[in-house]
Amino acid sequence: MATPTGVVPLGQRILRHSAWDALFLALTAAHAAALIAAPSIPLIAIGMWWNANTVAHNFIHRPFFRARTANRAFSLVLSAVLGVPQALWRERHLEHHAGGVRPRRNWPALAADSAVVAGVWAVLLWTAPIFFVRVYLPGIAIGLGLCQLQGYFEHARGTTSYYGRLYNWLFFNDGLHVEHHERPGTHWRDLPRFSRGDVPISAWPPVLRWIETASLDELERLVLRAPALRRFVLRTHTRAFRALLPQLPASPDVEIVGGGLFPRTALVMRELLPDAHVTIIEAKPAHLAIATAMLGPSVQARCESYVPTTRSGADLLVVPLAFVGDRQQFYDAPPAPAVLVHDWIWRRRGTGVVISWLLLKRLNLVVR
């Protein structure tokens, strides 16, 4: 659009679609500068994964520049920064959007991008062979693995969207993946206008979506078999419970939902509240047998499924991360005077403390 004087702004003369695309150019320059100033395996890997799914991805669908030569030049820059020929990445991605139909191969572009990548690798191998083998190549391999993980879980159960604000801010609305597939040429800033409630949605960003398929029982068995992991889990949970101890009832009746496979909460309660009356409610007899063998007669056990709508007769109810059902109901209508809810680290409710960043867990206290 021309100004009142009839002069077209410089950005509009250079950029084809939006002035916002200049941000991608600046971020790519910052990415390249970081790689030169402080290269490391995490920076190379995470930088490749992030850039491939933001700058490079948007560049594939909507090349930033009006001039074809400028787009070719930027493709060469991305090839050097990411260590992957962008013409090849473009071809594979458009094939994915076309349902496996391979687009016509641009041999000159592929040859030029490949030559740039080969040149970067040759210079690194010649000037810093140890760095190339021990840092650069592992970083590239991990970055490719993250990209593969991202692409797989974006479509593992059909194309799926994720509406988390932080991820979509950092990844320029990449989480709106169903919307993107329906309108692959839509600019990233316009995608939220097409979001709707009837598409497959995940509670996790793509690279963490494996958590939906991971079995918490299997992770518990792993902890049970590894003494070092048991000590770590007990130490982190004890610290979290101790931080909330002043807000808990004195010598309470405690009901613990589940947790029979590795009864960490009961073990912690026995240490911190030795006068408390503790009952484990566990639906799986095999898990309950493990708990009673570890705890002895100091803790009672009931083999039954816990019904969260039932009002608890205990002073304190503890809910595990592995609880199957609507966890929000414990926050909206606590079934006991005090409820401790194990939750994911980003779900802060009531009075909460972090159990462990490594475990992605927190402990939330809600009172009735």
**4 part of a folded domain:** no
CATH number where 262 lies: 3.40.50.150
- Angle at CA 136, nearest 5°, toward 123 and 56? 90
Question: Domain of 238?
Answer: 217-367
**Could you tell me the pTM of the whole model?**
0.65
Confidence of residue 234 (pLDDT cuts 50, 70, 90): confident
| Number of independent structural domains in the chain | 2
pLDDT at 195: 86
Return d(Cα 158, Cα 362) in angstroms, integer.
Answer: 31
* Strand pairing category for 316-319 and 253-257: parallel
Q: What pLDDT score was predicted for residue 63? A: 95
Would you say residue 193 lies in a domain? no
The reported pLDDT for the residue numbered 216 is: 65
223 and 134 together in one domain: no
Q: Is residue 207 part of a domain?
A: no
| For residues 16-20, average pLDDT | 88
Same domain, 138 and 239: no
Q: Are residues 140 and 279 in the same domain?
A: no
Structural domain includes residue 46: yes
Highest mean pLDDT of the ranges 2-6, 191-195, 222-226, 293-297 = 191-195
Nearest to 36 by CA among 131, 106, 166: 131
pLDDT tens digits along 279-321: 888 777 877 787 777 777 777 877 877 776 666 678 888 888 8
How far is the CA of 185 from the CAs of 193, 311, 347, in angstroms? 14, 53, 34
137 and 264 belong to one structural domain: no
Domain match, 21 and 150 both:
yes
361 and 270, same domain (yes or no)? yes
Q: Give mean pLDDT, residues 324-331.
A: 79
Mean pLDDT for the chain? 86
Boundary (domain end) residue, out of 135, 155, 175: 155
Which tokens hold the place of 94? 């458009």
Report the range of poorest mean pLDDT among 89-93, 222-226, 355-359, 360-364. 222-226
Nearest to 82 by CA among 66, 59, 101, 65: 59
Highest mean pLDDT among 11-15, 125-129, 218-222, 345-349: 125-129
* Max avg pLDDT among 127-131, 237-241, 330-334: 127-131
